[in-house]
Structure 1
Amino acid sequence: MSKREAFLAATYKENVEDFLRFIQLHNKADPFDVEEVVQEMPRDQKEALWGKLCLFLQDVLQKLPPECWEESNQARVEDGMDVESSEHVMAVVDGVTLWSPWSICVCPSDVLLSLPVSETPLPLLLHIHTLCEAWWKKELDHREKFGRTAFLISLRKSFLLKKPGAEIQRVWSLHDVLLSLDYTSEENKEVLDLLLQCFHRPVYIRNDDVSEVRRFLVFLFSWNVNFIWVIHGTIKNQLEFYNSSLMTHITEIYFRAWKKADGEFLEQMESSCIQDFMQCAIFLHRSSPVYAKVRQIVSYFHSRKSCPRVEKMLDGLYKPILWKSLFVPNSEVRANATLLLADAFPIHDPAQGSENIDVKIQKQLDTGALLFI
């Protein structure tokens, strides 16, 4: 019997010790190269190997409940195989896993999501995570399931690591996974909750060392049109806790998200986010802890008026709310609206003819003079 045949025979769960001996030879000075042997196998032997490993892995993982994984990576299971041995099994799968059927990975990926993520995850978890990521990127069958697993684990890890830069880059590399998920599905509620946590964490908002961070947060505004309002509500609830540095980054994120938006996403960005901040800047009491921060966001858009698209947007969004607020009975509202007019002046649509623009600017000058009398 050749070594290749003996290796294949050893994949029966009744021959666990024989199988592990082959794995141990892989790391010796005179190695038995498992990867080379597998690559040289004809297709029928590879299919037989994966079928046996599928049963083998499922049997091992089913005997090892998730709570045991928290205790030690040397925990024993009934057949004498420990977690370290399970790691070797996944090491064999890693690198040649693209030959395997979908069923061989269903159980491991489900187990992975049920386990806690720490700064030093078990080697087996890392292997399964890498496997799911590769499965997604190679666009294999049922890739959505494995992409979701890889994305979730990377996102969780990025919240826990002291230096999460590399993991955040990994999150960005998997961001297209979101496009394959059903936003309305109850199954993906955890995904939404984790994504919103990004706007609670300074490491995501102000991380200038990882360029993918800003791109990821901006991208989230384009995932689903209904998610825009949810993000905006989360940020508004956090405004009181953002310091000056975080506010600078938040304003840039809003501006970039608006600039990249089109169609219904642009309409939602303008009505639900920018115009909402305009209204807050008009109606909030100046004693409010978030008044100055709302003004900072609105003023940022004013400062970008050199872009004709910004001028047109300001003109359209201020039209239904600013002018009537200049003459309401409430003096604080009038004062807030006057400050906005002075900060944004002149407000007009550059696409209008020069004569119409002149008339509009003159009207604003007359209104301002009247208010300051």
Structure 2
Amino acid sequence: MNADMDAEPPFPSTVTLRVHRFLPRPDRDRGRSSSPFGARRSPFGASSSPSRRRHGRQWTEDFTIAARPEDTVLDCLQLIRRTIDPTLAFRYSCGHGMCGSDAVSINGSPTLLCTATVGDWTKAAHEDGGFRRTGADPGSGEAATAIIDTTDATDAADGGRAKATDAAEGARTSATDVTDGTRSPDQADDGAFAQPPVIEVGPLPGFPVIRDLVVDIDPMFDQIRRLDPHLVGADDPSTESRTAAHEYLQTPAQLRRYELLSDCIACGVCEGSCPVYAGGEAFVGPAALVAASRFINDSRDTLTEGRLDAIDTQDGVAACQSVRACSRECPRGIDVGEEIWRLVAKVKERQA
């Protein structure tokens, strides 16, 4: 028989995306009020550090769609916006994990929408006991098997073994493995999922939410700019001679010291993972420290001491608690926690 005919055709799995929604409350323009009490101003003037937190309606909404294991969560959100709810707001650009604009929280872990696949994140949730089977405790498949056996016994007493076989086969077919889009023998033996697997998608933690999955990342960029993320060489051409050619020679070892750090895409995943960072007010944040480390480790830069002074503050490296959660999900493979620890060591060496 033809091998193509023997192979079972792939079919899409069903997945539920549980999306955290946020609709901001419209700002009211009190200045247009005709009432003499409608345009009050604070006697203390405007706040020097206005809160970026927005008020509005928050809720979660489930969207059940057909998806393949290799589909990304970004693909699923685009499908939802095209076919179900055009008001769903999320941010993305290149879709290939290079720009970092689509950072969100998936199942509680900060990551990028365009690199998170349905198969990976449903499998991770299942391994953690995130799914319940019909009538069973998490991690147990006895209840589903018992249902099939009971049906088999009842129909056998009535002379309906064929009906029991069809019911069992139907239950086994529904026990699909979302990690590869085909039926899983293990799940067929243990029982079927009562409901489609759920992937929970929320906004990136640590940042004020603008709408749905879109957050305000300006605080992160403000902190990065505060540490002067640009190279200052010893022989930088002056304004009058910018066309002059200057060559900065480095050894391969010197290049390796900062090369990986230059791959940072400022996605904010490390800051969303950090339990200390909260919008850049009490802690400058791991993204800004990585940007500073990139130039501190560059042999061509001449502002090393000034850069160390800038991070040797209460909201700089002193605020880091060395949890190293910032290293777990970096899409560029940077060990952020290790880099911050090295900055701490450099600062302490100066104090010795």
TM-score normalised by the chain length of structure 1: 0.21
Larger Rg: 1
Where is the strand percentage greater, Structure 1 or Structure 2?
2
TM-score normalised by the chain length of structure 2: 0.22
Where is the helix percentage greater, Structure 1 or Structure 2?
1
Question: Which structure carries more relative contact order (alpha carbon 8 Å, separation 6+)?
Answer: 2
